[in-house]
Structures are given as structure tokens and as C-alpha cells.
Amino acid sequence: RGVYLNVPDWYFLNGSNKSAMGYREVNWSLPRERQIILGRQNIFDGTWKKTPSMGWMFVPLVQYHGGGAAATLEPLSEHLDAYGAHLAQNFGSGVQACYRGPRLYDTEKTKALVKKWVDFYKEHRDILDSDIIHVRRPDGRDIDCILHVNPQLKRKGLAMVYNPLGREVKRQLKLPLYYTGLTRTATIREQHGKNKKYRLDRVYNVEIPVAIAPRGVTWFVIE
């Protein structure tokens, strides 16, 4: 009782609680920027057959398998962009990770960053732990997106959108809302912004405008 087992294989019926999401150990010795995009690919590919909370991810706060300073997040306060990206894509996917290092924050600014994404997860936990619709796989060449859906909740969906590019991206993004249970209209807001009503097309899609800062992230709540 009270013991949770991370087991790197599909042994849920034998008492394990999580399996590896599906990353390669040596990838965590690559430069930070590559770790981030590969991490999102791991989550995208690892959630076809399991819900987000069934798999764990990894964040090397200190050196892991080599790579030196270019591959590590310590000192955390000097790499807030990279640390924040890991937090955003893990919590934004509903995935918990092993944060390998002696501390989660080293300054008040770092602590505020950690708190921001922990609070985000707590606020949206029910929908973040729900099934994922795979909208666009991360490839580092354009925005990528996953969509959490659950027709039994008030929040029927939550779309996480990431921009890996070094420039702002503005475009229309098509979201497939069939598995949200919505049939005619959807009320969508970006983060804590104003609600806007959209009409679903004949195949239950909507198109929304997105504008994402360089290497930024945003989310849309769907009701």
C-alpha cells in the first residue's frame, strides 16, 4: 500500500503503475534544444496505446550519459527557457516525469516557473489525464499539437500547441473535435482569455487562429 511502481514494460496487470513513455537513454546527452523536440516526439508516439498518466518521461537536470554543459539544465536559473519547455510539454501532455537532479528550483524565479506549470496541471488535471488526439507530430519545422478530449467533462477538450521555431507563427489550426462529443458548436478560449463560439463543420472540425511566440507554447480550452 502506498508504493507506486515504474516498470519499463507493459506489466499493469501485475501491479505496475507506469511504463516508460518510450525514450532513448542516450538522447538525454544531446544538446538541450534537441532534447525538447525529441521529448515531445516521445510523448506523441507513446500515447497512441496508453493514456498520458500511464507513461513517464525524463528530464536531466544534471548530466546524464554525458553531453556536458550543453546537455544539462543546471544551473536551472540560467536555462529557464529550456526548463520551462520541459515543464510545459510534460504537464501540458498530462505526463509526469523523473526530474533527475538534487533540486527542482534554485532561485525564486525558477520556483515561480515550476509553480506556474504545477498550478496549470492542477487546474486542468481532469482533461489533461484524458485521452489524446494526435493532431500534428513534432518535427521541429512547424507548430505541433495534441488535443486532450473527454466528452464526460465540462471541459470537453484542451489543445496544447507548441512552436519550435525561432520566429513567431500565425496561422489557422484545424482541430478535430469528434471525440469531444460536441456536435454543432464549440466554445473555445486561449488560456484565460475570452470565450469565442465556433461552428463545427460536417466532419466535426473547427479552425481557430493561432499566434505563437518563438519557441513558445499556448493552449486552448474547449467547452
Could you read off the pLDDT of 114-167 as tens digits, one per residue? 999 999 999 999 999 999 999 999 999 999 999 999 999 999 999 999 999 999
159 and 212 assigned to the same domain: yes
Q: Provide, rounded to the nearest whole percent, the portion of the chain with pLDDT above 70.
A: 100
24 and 112 assigned to the same domain: yes
Q: Is residue 61 part of a domain?
A: yes
* pTM given for the model: 0.94
Choosing from 123, 157, 181, the residue where a domain stops is: 123
Choosing from 123, 145, 178, the residue where a domain stops is: 123
Instruction: Name the one residue in this structure whose C-alpha cell is 506523441.
Output: 44
114 and 138 assigned to the same domain: no
Q: Is residue 91 part of a domain?
A: yes
Specify the CATH number for the domain of residue 171.
Answer: 2.60.40.1180
Choosing from 108, 123, 138, the residue where a domain stops is: 123
- The band of 1, judged by pLDDT with boundaries at 50, 70 and 90, is confident
CB atoms within 10 A of CB 212: 20
159 and 117 assigned to the same domain: no
Q: Is residue 112 part of a domain?
A: yes
Q: Is residue 143 part of a domain?
A: yes
Output the pLDDT for position 196: 98
Q: Is residue 1 part of a domain?
A: no
Radius of gyration of the CA atoms of the chain, in A: 18
Distance CA 46, CA 221 (A): 23
Output the pLDDT for position 3: 85
- The band of 9, judged by pLDDT with boundaries at 50, 70 and 90, is confident
104 and 184 assigned to the same domain: no
165 CB burial (10 A radius; 0-12, 13-18, 19+) = middle
30 and 95 assigned to the same domain: yes
Q: Is residue 2 part of a domain?
A: no
Output the pLDDT for position 222: 99
Q: Is residue 4 part of a domain?
A: no
Q: Is residue 94 part of a domain?
A: yes
140 and 189 assigned to the same domain: yes
101 and 142 assigned to the same domain: no
110 and 27 assigned to the same domain: yes
| pLDDT at position 200 over 90 | yes
- Between strands 131-136 and 96-100, the pairing is unpaired
Domain count for the chain: 2
177 and 112 assigned to the same domain: no
17 CB burial (10 A radius; 0-12, 13-18, 19+) = middle
115 and 175 assigned to the same domain: no
Half-sphere exposure of 147 (CA within 13 A, CB side): 22
113 and 48 assigned to the same domain: yes
Structural domain containing residue 94: 12-123
